[in-house]
Structure formats: C-alpha cells, structure tokens
Structure 1
C-alpha cells in the first residue's frame, strides 16, 4: 500500500490507520510539492534533513505497530499527482491511501462501480482486514429501479468473494441505493462510515484517483480514501512515461523503496 504524506506540511498518519493496516507491506512516500520556479535539488538541500527525520519517525510508528515491511521514499516534486502515480507503479503498490483524519476506524464503505475488479478488491480487502474487527459494506448506486436486481447480485457477489477471503460473513454487508447522483450518494453513505474504498478503472491510476468523480469523492469526504489499483495496470499502458517525471528529486531507502 502506498501512503503519501506531506511531512513538511504537518500531515500525519492517524494511529487508527496505522493499526488497521499493520498486516500489509507499506511504502511511505514523504513528498513536498514545490513551485515550478524552485529547483527540486535546492529544496532537497534546504529541507531534506528535516523531511528525512520526519519520515524516519513515521516509519518507526508503523514498525512499532507491528508492520514488518515498511519502505520509504522521499520526493521533492513539481507535480505530486504524477509522483503518486509513478511511485505506485514503481513499487507495485496494490492500493493508494489518501489521508484524512480518522478518529475511529470501525467500518469501511466499498463503492462498487462494476464487476471487473470484484475478486481483486475482495482479495486485497481480505488481506487488509487481517487482524482487525472492521466491518465492510459493499455499496452500489443505481439510476433506475430496473437495475436493482443486477445491482443486488453484484454486491452479494462481492460479499461472497470477501467471505471466501476468510472474512466472517457477519462483518460483511451489502447495500444498493437509487440515486440520480452517484457521487452524492457515495458521499452521503461514506459519512456513516470511517473509510471509503474505491476500485480503480482504466486507463491510468492518476486519471481515476485524481480526476472526475474519484477526485470529487476524495475531496468531499472527511474520511481516509483507499483506492485499489487494477491488476491490469501496466507501465506505459496509457502512453505516459511513468518513470520520467522531469523535474523531480527522489530518493529511496535501503529496503526496497
């Protein structure tokens, strides 16, 4: 899981999130977005030591919580969104966590857009939920009552897949709602939960996470948002060069970052 953190901006990872995801490998991405007129090398020279100290402190929090596989990246960049995409691909991260405060973490809302990633989403959720008591609600928005039967089948299939990943059925719920605006329906439902989970669509992680509906959802909710990457995403699939961000200063740690 990729966890981008603006360490120099005072952002931190809620302890509830640290504890919930201690069972999965984590890449902590300490980043700082800087104006175009400032060279990344200059920013690194000026702020690098402070950022590294903050990053190491955050890493120790994850390790103290029992996370045995924590790698780190430190990036000064002119485009944080491209950086998130590149690092997620470079590190083969299965999900990207967009941080928001999480005073409690007891229930997760999983917004289902289609069945393309159901097995993949359920498999990853099963891993994430290991060692937790989190409850999960699969949520599907329909625009017409005639779509309800198919939607009911879809969320029940998702629940079956998660149960097959060794999550107790009594922790899994399914909900279908009729609403003209899927975004507003998801935000309203997310307000009743502690984390929102979205599945990625083609063609690129950046296009899904940071544009259109998902961007609105990430900004509109006060909860952490976990975006699960599609396993079909490959480098360069959408014609973009993930490994060449131009003006960016990046360093990794010795543990695979």
Structure 2
C-alpha cells in the first residue's frame, strides 16, 4: 500500500477571480498533502513586480483562508503565490518544484461520489494506481476505468490495458469491488471521455508525453477541463520543458 506522504497534489486557484475550492474536493483530498497555488495571470503590459505590490497582500490573505479550510479537514498543506504571464507554465514549474504527482483543474463539484479514470496507455499506470489509492483512502468514492479506442481493432487491446490498470489498483490496496472498467469505440476519444464524464463527478487523466504545458494542458486535459463541468485531475509525468524567456514571480510558503 502507498503512504499518503509519498504523494502530493497541486491545486491552482485564481483567488482574485473568486475561484474557490469546493467542500467536496477538500474532503476528498484530505488524505493527501496538497499545494495551494494562489495565482494571477497578467496581461503582457503588466509587470510581475507591479502586480505583486498591487495584489500581493490580498492574494496571500485569500490563500491563508483556503489553507485554514484544508487544515481543519486534517490535510497537510503548503501554499504558494504566483503572478505570471503564463499560468500553465507556472503550474508546471510549481508542480516540479513541489514534487507534485498531479494537478487539479478546478470546476464546481457539488457532489463527489464517482471518479472516471481515462487510461490512454500503460505509461505510468502503476504510479496512477498508487496515487488513486492515496486519494481514495478514507472516502467512499467509486472508480470507473475508461479506455476510448478509435476503432474496433483497438477494443481487445483496450480491455487488456484496463485489466492491467485494475490489477495495479488492487495491488496498491484499492478494493476490487470499487472498480468498474469500460471500453468504448469512438473516432473522437475526447468526445467519448466527455460523454462518460457526464455520469461521474471527477475526471482523472494521465499524462503520457513530456511536458504538462505543451502536451497535456494545451492538448487533451485542457480541452476536457473546459468542456466538462467536473474537476479534472491531471496525473503528471517527470518532465519539465525549458523556457528561459518565461517571466513569473512565485512566492514560496512564508516568503515576502
């Protein structure tokens, strides 16, 4: 079984836009350490130092309130504040700095009972299984593993892939009775995932290529997050793309 301390989830929150973390998310993620990233994405003409001077105190006050909510639920919490011209790059960098296994893209979550896990390939399946076990601990959440094959020829391979994922989850300590598997055939895998997500409360998507920013957030997971009403948890890989021209101001916990 995995130790909750072996995992960590980044939760970016645009507090100045009034974004909050639903109570259902707080309860569901109470068993795993989280990093709350209070961020503000700036227009190109606004400097990060100017934004920090103008909004810094307000943002820190907001993230401190959020931290208290998580701590009251028994969660281990770290906070960061960022003013940036590229929020996705900042999410990626902070996830690496804080050794986060996943990034939670927030959407409203009035009910959180069922989780859809979209499995694209066998990349990181064991890691995803251990992370999900940590999140499921202390909850009654039910899992559905989904693979969207592009044609009928991919159905058998998809079934085998999901059986592998199911076995890894059970090996990690997840009760087999909590896991369902579904293979669908659709020439648009994203549409198939969205259709299935409509019957679930949280969508989990794994990263299978380098760079959250280029291949995940600006590809499938970002599109999924924009088109679903559910929160989306992106399980990240071990990559960081270099971008020396990126400008950001990130405050760590306790920094001024």
Same fold (TM over 0.5): yes
Question: Hey, what does 1:61 align to over in structure 2?
Answer: 69
Structure 1-normalised TM-score? 0.92
Please, which moves more after superposition, 245-254 or 140-149? 245-254
Question: Which of 48, 70, 95 is equivalent to 1:40?
Answer: 48
Residues in 1 aligned to 2:239 and 2:211: alpha-carbon distance in whole angstroms? 9
The DSSP-based 3-state class of the residue aligned with 1:141 is strand
Partner of 1:127: 134
Aligned pair 1:219/2:226, yes or no? yes
Give the count of matched residue pairs: 247
1:94 aligns with 2:101: yes
Of 9, 22, 32, the match for 1:14: 22
How far off is 1:78 after superposition? 1.1
What value does the CA root-mean-square deviation take over the aligned residues? Answer: 1.4
Shift of 1:13: 0.4
Q: Following the alignment from structure 2 to structure 1, what is the Cα–Cα distance between the partners of residues 144 and 135?
A: 15
Give 3-state SS (helix, strand or coil) of 1:127's partner.
helix
Give the counterpart of 1:50 among 49, 53, 58.
58
Deviation at 1:132, TM superposition (A): 0.5
Deviation at 1:210, TM superposition (A): 1.6
TM-score (norm 2): 0.93
| Equivalent in 19, 27, 31 of residue 35 of structure 2 | 27
Alpha-carbon distance change, 176 to 121 in structure 1, aligned in 2, over 3 angstroms: same
CA positional deviation for 1:247: 2.7
In structure 1, the residue matched to 2:4 is: none
Matched, 1:79 2:86: yes
**What displacement does 1:25 show?**
0.9
1:99-248 alignment to 2 at 5 Å? 99-230=106-237, 233-235=238-240, 238=241, 240-241=242-243, 244=244, 246-248=246-248
Corresponding residue of 1:250: 250
| Displacement after TM superposition at 1:246 (Å) | 4.2
User: What's the secondary structure of 1:215's corresponding residue?
Assistant: helix
Runs (5+) with no aligned partner, structure 1: none
SS in 2 for 1:186: helix
Q: 1:66 to 1:234 in 2, by over 3 A?
A: same
| Contact 1:111/1:140, CA 8 A, preserved across alignment | yes
SS across alignment from 2:39: strand
